[in-house]
Amino acid sequence: MQWTDNVPPQQIESLDDDDSVELETTSSVDYWYMSMNYARPPFDNRDVRRAISFAIDREAVAEAAWFGAAEENQTAIPEDSFFYYDYEPFDRDPEQARQLLAQAGVSTPLTMGLMVTDEYPETVTAAQVIADQLSEVGIEVEIETLDFATWLDRQGAGDYDAFYLGWLGNLDPAAFYQEQHQTDGPNNYQGYSNPQVDQLLQQGATETDDAARKAIYDQAATIIVDDVSYLYLYNPDVVQAWAPGLSGYQIRADKAINFENVELP
């Protein structure tokens, strides 16, 4: 074997110390998140969504899902990107979560269904951690493990309280935010609608200057995160390994593979 991208996360630490393998990682443009159904009270209440966001320990969720081969992130775009925005308003705070639930007039225990899929077993594992964390603030999570076709059908039909999945953001900031958070966007299954976000996303899509675009998307991301349209969790790492002496290969956040300039030892 000269090169592979099939590296189990639980083996990364041991392979990192193995002189017979060159191992490299970088944060991917994939992002994993929860989202709640705005058509189902009380998840239409911003305070309830924010309470849930304050109750979750993203680092623990990432560890459960990827054995540490993921970077917690409260926005969509990974740290290595020019468009990364360092915004983390939700330090885990169970007491703040309880206060927000009370402020929203929600009596506990509150039951919340959480759809995951065995197509991505890491979501099933991590959902147990999320359920434990939310139980501390009076939210009883009923984990619904579905085959992926059923999962997609129920997402499309709005037949859920909350779901947990990932999305490939690609490289342009519009791919991370536009279709998912614009009113009536084709992938806005949660039913989010904020006129200010709509205006910013439209501006970002037509702006040509990168610095100006970043400022626009930073503003949009701030509102999206504060409103908890998506409850962002982490970016998994791209993990690849190759034989010592192989040269000219560059690992990429979008997982694109290019051997054009590679030379074998």
Q: What is the pLDDT of residue 167?
A: 86
**What does the DSSP 8-state code read for residue 142?**
E
Instruction: Name the H helices within 31-185.
Output: 46-55, 58-66, 94-103, 121-135, 148-157, 173-181
Q: How far apart are CA 217 and CA 204, in angstroms?
A: 6
| CB-CB contact of 144 with 116 (8 Å) | yes
Characterize 215-243 residue by residue with b for buried, 16 or more Cβ atoms within 10 angstroms of its Cβ, and e for exposed. ebbbbbbbebbbbbbbbbbbbbbbbbbbe
Look-up of token digits 């309280």: 161
List the CATH number of the domain containing 34. Answer: 3.10.105.10
- Which pLDDT belongs to residue 98? 97
Give the separation between CA 146 and CA 21, rounded to whole angstroms.
Answer: 37
Distance from C-alpha of 37 to C-alpha of 191, rounded to nearest angstrom: 7
> Mapping DSSP to helix (H, G, I), strand (E, B) and coil, where does residue 216 land?
helix
Q: How far is residue 235's CA from residue 239's CA, in Å, rounded to a whole number? A: 12
Asked if the structure places residue 225 within a domain, the reply is yes
Q: Which pLDDT score is estimated for 250?
A: 67
- Each of the 265 residues of the chain gets a pLDDT tens digit; together they read 576 555 565 655 555 566 665 666 666 678 999 999 999 999 999 999 999 999 999 999 999 998 878 899 999 999 889 999 999 999 999 999 999 999 999 988 999 999 999 999 999 999 999 999 999 999 999 999 999 999 999 999 999 999 999 987 677 899 999 999 999 999 999 999 999 999 999 999 999 999 999 999 999 999 999 999 999 999 988 666 556 766 666 666 566 566 666 666 6
As a whole number of angstroms, the distance between CA 75 and CA 169 comes to: 11
Q: Which domain covers residue 43, as residue numbers?
A: 3-242
Q: Which helix (H) or strand (E) holds 226?
A: helix 210-227
Asked whether residue 182 is assigned to any structural domain, the reply reads yes
Domain-located, residue 249? no
Whether residue 64 lies inside any domain: the answer is yes
Please say whether the dihedral angle defined by the alpha carbons of residues 63, 68, 74 and 78, taken in this order, is positive or negative. negative
Single out the residue of 187, 153, 194, 186 nearest to residue 167, CA to CA: 187
Torsion of Cα atoms, 202 then 203 then 206 then 212, to 10°: -150
Q: 208 lies in a domain?
A: yes
* pLDDT for 68: 76
The answer as to whether 90 is a domain residue is: yes
**Whole-prediction pTM value?**
0.86
Task: For residue 86, tell me if it sits in a domain.
Answer: yes
Is residue 102 in some structural domain?
yes
Number of domains in the chain: 1
